[in-house]
Structure formats: structure tokens, C-alpha cells
Structure 1
């Protein structure tokens, strides 16, 4: 189901009333971490007893989580080695680990933290003797699992040199297996230390296999650029009361599709199920019209209208006799795939004036979008607008909006940031298509659907996605319009709906290797969702 992401400050604020009330949040976190780690060890070794776990402990509360978890593992027969990397760590957690039999090694030459309320410069280099360092590297190499509990959400960018050099040495040794068949698994506790999307200095940072985070999903963990450092992120609920209005993003997956996909009501009719107008394809690119319309038809909508070239409509009707080749009432209009001729674009725009019908703009139709302030006086002003560019198209759009050259490589280097900027500048919902599709609202809120399969990287795949999104927007707009408690769709609701469309696209992509087969597979996915089947991953 949907998981919302929050700034770390929001999560810390939510912890305070629980702590004041005497709730032992650290105990909850440590139990969950120990249980998860035990499963990792069982998967890797076939058993927990006799495993070796190394804790790299820093000065913060995430070290306390790791140390208490390590104590619980020690009581199950795991050999625990704790490496304290600074002059202090979590006192009670360290005592618990010692009491359970853990070996504790102090890293010599570590910087003096002193008063925890005094800000220290963690970047000061430290002189480290070779013998203890070799012992530490040996312990790391022979471990089955390593906890990264060095710096948590309060840590600043950049590790102190003595820690960075230790990681460099460990990584340069190939995270030596100590005679084992595989390197140790790395679990980042709450958040990886020195988490940054920058590639610079990557060899000095941990590349976790898993990140176990507590209380709520942190915003910094969902950036597609940090996946190499977080590994798989697992969120543990420790009982915080978080306000979804304070979330910065929503992560959606196949379970959301099963729960929220629009199914027909028993008393419904074709208009209550939604009508989408599709202006796609041209005499030059007729296939785009066929792919886009096919995916819209197959998505379970009440009616599809073909609004473009009669030649394209003829091709479409030859495949889908139910498509109506005439304008009329619509709940959403999609335009742009396959560069429809200007005369049909103008006619479509004329029909939309003085309505609030949502529009989805793809491909060539993106050229209609200017700055948000200029949109206010246009036909786009009084309606939800969804833009569906890939990185190259977004680069051209932003170059036009900003008056400077923006390249697709810059977009790919920070997809969330650029999608948010485009949404803010245009005043539209922006769907930046890619391996990790980003859906950004003008207020900065994002929806991140789970990544799709590699087979979606094929010509025409974007046309299929556009048809799905157009159909989904029309279906929900119709449902809302026919509701007795009609309320306008919020931008965040619309972003969630578009996210569901991306998930349909992903599910179809797991059954197809070409765009034509992909459009047909949409019918299989929608049929299973509507008739109560379960999606096959």
C-alpha cells in the first residue's frame, strides 16, 4: 500500500510526544532490526547460530538501535563485534551488547566528540595505528553481516577521514570474504551514513544491501539517485502519528493498484465509467494513434472518442469497433502522441474552451505549455493539466520556460528536482517518464510508482502509457462528477491516479516485449483487476 515520505525533522517532531509519554521507541526499533537481521542471516547461512555480525557504531541514536539489536542477536548465538568509531557511542546500548557477550574494539585516533551539544567538525583527519586497523578489517571481512550505524539522520555530509579511509580500505580489498563464498551483507540502520546523491567520493561511502528505517519513510531515501547506497529500503512502524499533509512524497506499488483501480459499479453506465477523447496519430505517424487508443480502450473505460485524422480513425475502428470517431462529451482529453495535424488540434482546443475538462498533453502537445503566469490567461487555465514528457522532452520544455539550455543529461542527473521545477514553473502536473517515473505536483509533492521492467524501453511504449493515463484521469473525473458528494480532485489525488496508470503500464510490461503487445496486455491487466483476479508478478 501507499507509503508516504517525510522530512527527517517531521519524523523527529512526531517522536517527541511519544518519548515524553515514556514510550521506548528505541526498543521497538531494535526488536524489528534484530528480527529483520535474523532473517537475512538465515537466508545467507541457513541458520542464525554461529553467524558473525559487526557493528560500526557512531555517536547517535541509530547506534543505540544497532547495539540493542546486536545484543538480541548475541543471545541467539551470534558472535558480535562492536567497533566504536568515535570517543563515545550510545552508552546503554553498548552496555547491553557487552552484557550479551559482544567483543568491543575502540578505533584508535577517533575524533573527540566531547559535549554532544557542541557541534564538532567530523572531517578532521585522525592518525590510526596499523595493528588495530588490521584487526578491524579482519573482523569486517569475516562477518556475515555488518551494521552501518555510524551517522544517522542528524549526520552532516562527509565522513571523518578516519572512517572514510577505513571504508576505502575495506572496499578496495573487495570487501574480502575471509574465506567465505560471499561478502557480508550491509544493513544501514535508519539511514546510510553520509547519504548523498553525488557520485564523488562514492568509494568512501557504504553501499548497503538494505536500509531499515524507523517511524516513517525519510524523504532522502526515495531519491532514485541514492539506490546504490540504500539498497532495498524497509520501513518499520514504531507507532508514530504522522500527518500525511506533511509528507513530501508518496511511494505506490502493485498493492495500491489492486486496492484503488476503478472498478465498474453495478448501477453504473458508460458515462459514469468515463469518456476519454484521444487526439493522437497523424498521416505521418498513424501507429501512435492506434497504440494510444488501444491502450485507452483496454483500460476499462466507458467510451473512447477518436478526435483526429479520419485516416487514423479508420485504422482504429478496424481494430476497435466501439471507438466513436466524433467529438462530444468527454471527461478528459489526451492529445499529442504521433503529432496530430494542426487543424485537429485547433478544433479540439475550441471544444475545450469554457469547460473544466482535464487534459493530458504528450509529445508534440507539450509545445502548448508556457510559464505558469502565462497559462492563467489561456484555455489551460481552468482545468487540471497533466504533462507526460521523457527526459529529452522535459529538457526542451524547461529550456523554453527558463530561457537557457537544459540538457537531458542534467534532467537524468536529478529527475525529482527537475520534475518539481517543471511542475512549479508550468503550474501543471509533470510525469517525467523513465526507469523510475517521477510524478511532480506544482507544490513540490511527488508520487513515485515502483520501477517498471526493462522491456518498457521500446518504441511506442510512451504512447501506450499516455492512453492509459488519459483513460484513468477520465474515469476518476467521471466518478467524481457523478458522485453525490462531488469535490474537485486535488493535485495530490490526481498524482495518485496517474501513479496508478504507471503501475498498469508496468504490469502490462511484464507480459510484453513490444508496444503492440503491451497495448494488448493492458486489457489482461485491467480484466484481472476488474473481475477480481490477482496480478501475476
Structure 2
């Protein structure tokens, strides 16, 4: 799934409309929106005729889409009430609704909101500023309290279309009907959680002239791209991962990183971390070896703490011309520039320190931040978190891993993720694919096994998920 910015959408709309806007795009949008609402009404109340829909109307084309859709619904026997909550309603759309039998109400006339079967959010479109005025937010809250599901028009009002930020009050939609293309804010947290089920309506936009802002992977694509071993593959063909993670103070980081590499499918794992971790690894993962030797990918950094030879260890690994993953404490010891074959895996705080900015700046615009990380380091960067973004040198489009549940947000998950990514890197895949595949595998596995599993236990389930994908691919 590809997503685009507001500026890109505007260019595509202008190209589709030509020199004059004859309303064709709005009518296509309204028709698609009305069809989704009809489906939602049948699901919720098992009828269309006689159902009640409230349209929250803002200014401009977003409100126009909602009003024209309301007119189509009214012609099918839906009792449609429209209330203006911001600005001046779209004149032609309002006239069409009234002509079809819909009503225009003032906010003071709204009383029993629970009598409505559904509400349409036509308050703000992709050009609106994020956040809602207090009085509008109060009305949105009242609808939620009355358990009235909301269908958002193009995107939930109050969210930032290009960053996914939700700096103030915003609509939480059960369904969002978007037109032409998916917008960036639909796919990035926290706006993603406000979007609900996303439905894309084709209105005839041509995307061929635009480079997507986001490229979002799904589980099927991950399974298809996984580096499955061939029948003749030996352990070196599958890839050997050298793990130098953990310390005497933090031995668990090395253990969990090793779990990730083993259960991510590495042909062999060489553990070069602290002796205190070796007993646990030997007991639970007896296939791991503890001697230096040839590797196809390095994994460094997590659990190092303050390490006197950290700078030299990273420099030596980079100089080996073997790709690698650099995580956590290891980021402090990186050289000024690194090859794009290396993958850095910071969370928001670590990326903020790398860029010399506040954490909030990274969280408010993660796309800009992950690109800045690539520009600063030369490496491929995976920004970990609720939304996991991967940027690489020479490519503007940022890749988005499959999202997962919040269960993975706990100590040690990043260590096992580093191991999963290193296993894919060792199998010969480029750094950006290693990042997307590793992060997606962890997310899909967590979704299939909900609950607070420790990271190393979740890593074990990753092997089960890979097995399930492989079996499905053979059918």
C-alpha cells in the first residue's frame, strides 16, 4: 500500500480535473462514500430506509463530499440531518441535500444524539489544521458517549494528514473513507488508531508521476519476500550472524539478541558477548557457538553500556565490509559516516540524541526524523516504535513495517528485533529489507500470540510463524 502527502494529492487532483473543476471528482467521492455508509447501516441496524444519519459539516470540499453523500442517502430513504460545525457549508452540496429531503439543523437543535445510527465526519479535510475547537470537540465526545459510530470523510478531523500527529482533540472513526489515494496520516500512529477501518475509493487519480511518501508492507508481502532456504542451502548459505551484544552489567541484552538471530532463521550464530550470558545461551540454545570466525552479518551494541573499546569494535566491524546491525548503546560509538549496508535501529529517544533534537520533534514528524537519520549517518535507519519506519540512502520513499500490538513495547523487544534483522541481513538481503522483514515478523507474531510474552519467548514463536508462512507458500 502506498501513501502520499497533501501536496502530492493536490497535484494529482488538479491533473484529474483539468483547467476547470466540473465537480466530477466530488461526485465520485460522494458516490463511494454513500455506498460505504449504506453498507455500514445494513451491518449496524439491518436497514437503510428509515435509518438516521447525522452529518457534521465543515467548510470546503470535505464538507461538500459529506453533503453530496447525504443527498444520495436521503434519496434512498435515510433520514439525514446536517449540522454546520465550522465555517460556511458547501453551497451546492447543502442545496442538494435539502432538495433530496435532508434537513439542516442548528447545533442547539441537537438533543438525543443516541437516536442517530451513524454520523458522518465532514468537518475538516486534508487541508485542515490538526486539532478541533473546544465546542466541536465537545460534540464529537457526545457522539462517542452516545455510542454513535463515525464514518470519517477522507481522514478523521483533527489529525495531521502528513505526519500522523494528533496534537489536540480529534475524531475517532469506526471507518475512514478516503479518496483517490491513501494519505500518510492514515498509516502513522497516533492518527492510525483514529482511522478505524480504511476504505479507499477510486476517483480517477493518476499516481504515476508521484513518488510515494510511504510504502506500507502487509503480511503476505513479507512472507513472499522472506529469504527462504533452498533445498541445497547449508548454514553458510543461510547466513552466519556474529552477535556482540550485552555486557557483564546487562547480559540479558546479548541473550535476547541471540534468541532473535537463532529464531529468525540464521544458519549459525556466533556469540561474542559476555561470559555471564554464555551459560544461559548454552543451556537454551546449544547450537550457538562461542568462537570468532567468518560471519555474513554483524549485530552490535545492545546492552553494551559504557564500553571502553566500543568505538574500535564498531570501526572494526564496519571495516570488515560485512553488513551489520547497530543498536542501542552501540549508536554512541558509530563513526561519523557509515555505509548504507549497515542498519541502525534507534527508538525515538535514541534518534533524537543522534540528531541533537528533542524527542518530541522525532515523535511529531517521524518521517522527517528517519530521513534525517539517514542524511546524518549514511546508513539505513529503522525507527522503532508504534509505527516502524525504514529509510535508506538514495530513496525518498520510506517503508513501513507491518504494525503490531502494543504487547511488544517492553524491555528487550529491541534486542530480539536486532537479532531478527541480522538473520535476514546474513541471508543476503539488503539492509532496508532486513529491517522491514524483521520488524514485520515480530509484529505479526505478536498479533498471533497476544499477551505479555517475554521478548525471548516471542522470538521463539517467530520461528513458528515462519514455519506457517513456509507451509502456506507450498500449497
TM-score bin, normalised by smaller chain: 0.7 to 0.9
Match of 1:397 among 354, 357, 374: 354
Residues 133-148 of structure 1: matches in 2 within 5 Å? 133-135=107-109, 137-138=110-111, 142-148=115-121
Q: 1:500 is matched with which residue: 437, 453, 457?
A: 437
Which residue matches 2:245?
280
| 2:319 pairs with 1:353 | yes
Q: In the alignment, is residue 430 of structure 1 matched against residue 381 of structure 2? A: yes
Q: Paired residue for 2:409, among 457, 467, 487? A: 457
Q: Distance in 1 between matches of 2:381 and 2:76?
A: 50
Please, which runs of 5 or more residues in structure 1 have no aligned partner? 106-131, 478-488
Residues matched between the structures, number: 463
- Structure 1 segment 98-497 matched on structure 2, within 5 A: 98-105=98-105, 132-135=106-109, 137-138=110-111, 142-155=115-128, 164=133, 166-171=135-140, 174-175=142-143, 182-196=146-160, 202=169, 205-227=170-192, 230-243=195-208, 246-309=211-274, 312-313=277-278, 315-339=280-304, 346=312, 349-350=315-316, 352-353=318-319, 355=321, 357-369=322-334, 374-375=336-337, 380=338, 382-398=339-355, 402=356, 406=357, 408=359, 411-412=362-363, 414-441=365-392, 445-477=397-429, 489=430, 494-497=431-434
What's the CA shift string for 1:348-404, capped at 9, x where partnerless? 74364252x22211122111235xxx32xxxx3x45222222334334434xxx3xx
Q: Deviations over 1:55-96 (max 9, x none)?
A: 2334433334323332333344311123356555152x4454
Q: Secondary structure at the match of 2:143?
A: coil
d(CA) in 1 for partners of 2:318, 2:38: 59
Structure 1 pair 291/206, CA: closer, same or farther in 2 (3 Å)?
closer
Distance change in 2, residues 1:206/1:282 (3 Å): closer
- Find the counterpart in structure 1 of residue 47 from structure 2: 47
In structure 2, stretches of 5+ residues that fail to align are: none
Between structure 1 and structure 2, the one with the greater Rg is: 1
SS in structure 1 at match of 2:241: strand
Residues 258/29 of structure 1: CA separation in 2 closer, same or farther (3 Å cut): farther
**Aligned partners of 2:462 and 2:138: how far apart in 1?**
50
**Equivalents in 2 of 1:194, 1:294: separation in Å?**
42
Q: What is the deviation of 1:242?
A: 1.4
The SS at the match of 1:63 is helix
Instruction: Please give the alpha-carbon distance, in whole angstroms, between the structure 1 residues aligned to 2:157 and 2:316.
Output: 55
With over 3 angstroms needed to count, the CA separation of the structure-2 counterparts of 1:309 and 1:342, relative to structure 1, is farther
Q: For residues 263 and 150 of structure 1, do their structure 2 counterparts lie closer, same or farther at Cα, with a shift above 3 Å needed? A: same
Q: 1:320 to 1:244 in 2, by over 3 A?
A: farther
CA deviation profile, 1:302-360 (whole Å, cap 9, x unmatched) = 332333446645643443343343444433211112328666984674364252x2221
The offset of 1:289, in angstroms, is 2.2
TM-score of the superposition, structure 2-length normalised? 0.83
Change (3 A) 1:365 1:191: same
Tell me the C-alpha RMSD between the 2 structures. Answer: 3.5
Between the aligned partners of 2:138 and 2:303, the Cα distance in structure 1 is 53
Q: What's the secondary structure of 1:240's corresponding residue? A: coil
User: Who is 2:13 aligned against?
Assistant: 15
